[in-house]
Structure 1
Amino acid sequence: MKIETIDCNLIAAYTKSGIFPYKLGIYLYIADGLLIDTGSAAILKKTKFLLKKENINCLALTHVHEDHTGAAAWIKENLKIPVYLNNNSITEASMGTKLPLYRKLVWGDREGFAADPMPAFIETEKYKFDVIDAPGHHKDHVAFHEKSMGWLFTGDLYVSRRQVVAFKDENINDAINSIKKILNLDFDTIFCGHSGVHKNGREKLKSKLDYFVKLQGEVRELEKEGLGYKEINRRLFPKKNLWSIISRGEWSSLNMVKTV
């Protein structure tokens, strides 16, 4: 696990989850005792040392997906700290996952855990993080904004400028609205759950918004021509994505087309 000091009170921890060739990167952040996301169950052996070593006072989860909550049950049981999650996801979190094979290989099933209702803001000794509703990647997704530092912890809202696959429950229209709202906030650095720290975060989020809006327009124009979703998907994404094949469509460009 690679650990980087971003600020005297903020560290970023990075590793990869899964087995070759199904490995994807994960970042988790600790800011003045606040842990933001936990990574997957598959990396828990790597993260336990860090979690025991650091003085963690509470955990805040951007959303309930297993690659962000995999260690939540262990943390709740062993560190005895609050585990904050969007209120609407608390019931889902209490149940363990039964994942498709490809997600088990990459992330691993997570145990159920007792989450605490997400407050409007989380205050540490040095920072105040406002909780911002940011649906899109997940309907109950949130981001954490530290205005005085210009920090925005985005979970899976950003990931990359250009997205080519989406989960079946992802909603690109919601993501467009969330990014538009977030761009009204005062920040310059974003902290992504998978692609790490981006100093020019505002510009990158704006690029992703432009990409989504362009995709939205292209889909609507092809709909006017009478094309169905599958044909539109073939036109706009002619190359088959490996993850679409492995996931049998659970993670695909077709899911993006359907929601715009």
Structure 2
Amino acid sequence: MIKSIPYEDVLQTILCKYDEPMPGAVVSAYLVDGLLIDTGPAYTAEALADFMTDKKLTCVVNTHHHEDHIAANKFLQDRFGVEIFAPALAVSKINQTPELYPYQEEVWGYPVPSIVMPLRKSISTEKYHFDVIPTPGHDRDHICLFDAKNGRLFSGDLFLGIKPVASRPMEDNWQTLEDLKRIRDLNPKTIYSASGLVVSDPKPRIDKVISALEEIGNIVNKLHGQGLTPLQIMEKIFGKEAPIAERTQAQFSSENMVKCFLKRV
């Protein structure tokens, strides 16, 4: 499935393997003044390249190396000859075939390796200038792009769920809190997230996410100090494991959320 929604001169392109959007199986790419931010999963890679045929496309930025954000890179390079940029820590990972868990292969597919160049501190189009904002809580190479003049933040996978219940092992939840506070302090007018969520006046929502994560993190630290294991802490906070854990070979899990708060202990 590929579906586009215009927001003034930002074109959101919703990408999903399935005919109907499924929670956790959708990625959004954004096209603004010839800059494409993220390229989606393997199952929609050719469709995205076809979709871009009559669009202005001058360059691409990957917000990080995950397979659901990079898979159309090679198709876009071959068809349009565009330059693709990614955070420096992501470059070598995008240049090779990743190892995937079965759920990742099922939902996203294997991306074809592509040649990308290290992203600098900013990138400009004909009309706009975007600052690169490091946000390494989701993964060490994750960045956001901020159009300060217009208050537009393209947030990639920086978490915006108000009721967090699961994390993956690579995440650092205290760092995510720092990332959220950093983007809040930029005072964006609109956030465009890779999950598909587009939020105007996002500060109240960001504050709710920060509050929810801080509450969980403080409880985790308190219970850890009492000698509880991550599993015991998870059961105290959440009652039981999140259903998504079974579907993702325990990669997304509430126990991992606890462990991702304990990385700095």
Kindly report which structure 2 residues correspond to 1:47-62, keeping only aligned pairs within 5 A, or say none. 47-62=48-63
Label 1:234 to 1:18 Cα distance change in 2 as closer, same or farther (>3 A).
farther
1:15 maps to 15
Aligned residue for 2:45, secondary structure, equals: helix
Give the 4+ runs in structure 1 shifted more than 4 A.
18-23
Kindly report which structure 2 residues correspond to 1:71-150, keeping only aligned pairs within 5 A, or say none. 71-150=72-151
Residue 251 (structure 1) aligned with residue 255 (structure 2): no
C-alpha distance in structure 1 between counterparts of 2:54 and 2:165, whole Å: 38
- 8 Å contact from structure 1 (residues 158, 205) kept in 2: no
2:224 maps to 223
Label 1:215 to 1:26 Cα distance change in 2 as closer, same or farther (>3 A).
same
Which of 42-51 and 18-27 deviates more? 18-27
2:183 maps to 182
Which of 115-124 and 37-46 deviates more? 37-46
C-alpha distance in structure 2 between counterparts of 1:165 and 1:17, whole Å: 23
C-alpha distance in structure 1 between counterparts of 2:256 and 2:56, whole Å: 41
Aligned residue for 1:240, secondary structure, equals: coil
Aligned residue for 1:167, secondary structure, equals: coil
- 8 Å contact from structure 1 (residues 159, 195) kept in 2: no
- 8 Å contact from structure 1 (residues 147, 186) kept in 2: no
- 8 Å contact from structure 2 (residues 101, 249) kept in 1: no
Counting matched residue pairs gives 259
Label 1:171 to 1:87 Cα distance change in 2 as closer, same or farther (>3 A).
same
C-alpha distance in structure 1 between counterparts of 2:177 and 2:225, whole Å: 21
Structure 2 counterpart of 1:224, one-letter code: G
C-alpha distance in structure 2 between counterparts of 1:207 and 1:78, whole Å: 43
Gaps spanning 5+ residues in structure 2: where?
none
1:34 maps to 35
Label 1:55 to 1:195 Cα distance change in 2 as closer, same or farther (>3 A).
closer
The Cα offsets for residues 194-215 of structure 1, whole Å up to 9 and x where unpaired, read as 1321113222122111111111
Gaps spanning 5+ residues in structure 1: where?
none
Label 1:216 to 1:152 Cα distance change in 2 as closer, same or farther (>3 A).
same
TM-score with structure 1 length normalisation? 0.94
Which of 202-211 and 147-156 deviates more? 202-211
- Displacement of 1:117 after TM fit? 0.9
- 8 Å contact from structure 1 (residues 160, 195) kept in 2: no
Aligned residue for 1:148, secondary structure, equals: coil
2:209 maps to 208
Structure 1 counterpart of 2:224, one-letter code: E
- Displacement of 1:221 after TM fit? 1.3
Kindly report the root-mean-square deviation, in angstroms, between the aligned alpha carbons of the 2 structures: 1.7
C-alpha distance in structure 1 between counterparts of 2:85 and 2:202, whole Å: 25
Aligned residue for 1:136, secondary structure, equals: coil
C-alpha distance in structure 2 between counterparts of 1:194 and 1:108, whole Å: 17
Label 1:244 to 1:22 Cα distance change in 2 as closer, same or farther (>3 A).
same
- Displacement of 1:217 after TM fit? 0.5
Structure 2 counterpart of 1:10, one-letter code: V
- Displacement of 1:128 after TM fit? 0.6
Structure 2 counterpart of 1:81, one-letter code: V
The Cα offsets for residues 163-197 of structure 1, whole Å up to 9 and x where unpaired, read as 21111111111111111122211312100001321
Structure 2 counterpart of 1:29, one-letter code: Y
Label 1:39 to 1:257 Cα distance change in 2 as closer, same or farther (>3 A).
same
- Displacement of 1:224 after TM fit? 2.1
